[in-house]
Amino acid sequence: MHADETAVDLPTTLAQPARRALLGAGYTRLEDLTRVTEDQLLQLHGIGPKALAQLREALAARGLAFAADTDD
């Protein structure tokens, strides 16, 4: 990866396919993920339940969360 690693604060435990999927979609910081729902992230090739759980935990550690699903 060469995309200015200092600006990337995704969990280091994240598998490479998940990391590539997030970076490819333009998500480089945990704060970026507060604008998308879990379902939206699951649409990315490389993001699965394990990656989603790691991201959810990392967000919670900072008092953040994914966007709320508003499909009612």
* pLDDT reported for residue 62: 96
pLDDT, tens digit, 9 for 90 and up, residues 28-43: 999 999 999 999 999 9
CATH number at residue 49: 1.10.150
Q: By residue range, what is the domain housing residue 34?
A: 14-61
Per the structure, the count of domains in the chain is: 1
pTM, full prediction: 0.85
* pLDDT reported for residue 2: 47
Query: 9 lies in a domain?
Result: no
| Long-range residue pairs from 53-61, CB within 8 A, at least 24 positions apart, any chain | 54/11, 54/13, 54/14, 54/18, 55/10, 55/11, 55/14, 55/30, 57/11, 58/10, 58/11, 58/30, 59/30, 59/33, 59/34
pLDDT, tens digit, 9 for 90 and up, residues 41-70: 999 999 999 999 999 999 999 999 999 987
Query: 69 lies in a domain?
Result: no
